[in-house]
């Protein structure tokens, strides 16, 4: 009997091409996950789409935070200038930490982004470290979240059908 070789998880590299349409349909029906199932954890033989763990942030969530901290910019007509309001809010959210979190677009956050703790590929890569709990707990609390961050499906990589005009990539090992 031959011993199994350990999987070199840090060797994940992108591969080009869409996922099977049936897999795409199942993935798009996902709701944010509390825990990542084994099928979505990359390995030598498993190449799932990118999943992000984090907190959703859209205008509904950021406006109370920005208002409370006097970060809302408005034009002469009183309309909110969202770009500068978002920038000021991110600076305040990440500002007290040396590390900055990534932002990702995911399917389940309409009109916003995900404040990212880690991806499923980063979690198996020993050269990557997730956002430390003391940071995501503070940011989550500031945004009004009481629970740990959940897992969300990336909007851009490898879930489109064969006729995808963008030619997106699926990350894999």
* Domain assignment of residue 147, yes or no: yes
* Domain assignment of residue 16, yes or no: no
Is the predicted pLDDT of residue 68 greater than 90, yes or no? yes
Entry pTM: 0.71
Q: Say if CB 18 and CB 159 are below 8 A apart.
A: yes
Query: How far apart are the C-alpha atoms of 44 and 147, rounded to whole Å?
Result: 32
pLDDT (0 to 100) of residue 18: 55
* Domain assignment of residue 68, yes or no: yes
Segment 16-67, tens digit of pLDDT = 455 666 766 776 677 788 988 888 888 877 777 888 899 988 888 889 999 9
* Domain assignment of residue 100, yes or no: yes
Segment 71-119, tens digit of pLDDT = 999 999 999 998 899 889 888 887 767 777 777 878 777 777 888 888 8
- Containing structural domain, residue 70: 46-172
> Residue 64, by phi and psi: left (phi above 0), alpha (psi -120 to 50) or beta?
alpha
As for how many domains the chain has, the answer is 1
* Domain assignment of residue 88, yes or no: yes
* Domain assignment of residue 3, yes or no: no
* Domain assignment of residue 59, yes or no: yes
Query: How far apart are the C-alpha atoms of 46 and 163, rounded to whole Å?
Result: 23
Is the predicted pLDDT of residue 169 greater than 90, yes or no? no
pLDDT (0 to 100) of residue 172: 38
* Domain assignment of residue 65, yes or no: yes
């Amino acid at each position: 009997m031959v011993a199994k070789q350990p999987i070199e998880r840090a060797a994940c590299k992108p591969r080009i091409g869409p996922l099977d349409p049936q897999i795409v349909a199942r993935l798009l029906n996902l709701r944010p996950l509390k825990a990542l199932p084994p099928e979505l954890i990359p390995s030598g033989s498993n190449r799932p789409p990118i999943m992000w763990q984090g907190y959703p942030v859209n205008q509904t969530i950021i406006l109370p935070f920005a208002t409370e901290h006097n970060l809302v910019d408005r034009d002469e007509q009183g309309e909110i200038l969202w770009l500068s309001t978002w920038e000021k809010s991110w600076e305040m959210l990440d500002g007290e930490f040396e590390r900055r979190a990534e932002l990702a677009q995911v399917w389940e956050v309409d009109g916003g982004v995900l404040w990212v703790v880690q991806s499923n590929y980063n979690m198996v890569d020993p050269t990557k470290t997730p956002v430390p709990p003391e940071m995501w707990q503070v940011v989550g609390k500031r945004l009004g979240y009481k629970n740990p961050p959940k897992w969300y499906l990336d909007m851009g990589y490898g879930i489109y059908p064969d006729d995808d005009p963008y030619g997106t990539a699926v990350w894999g090992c």
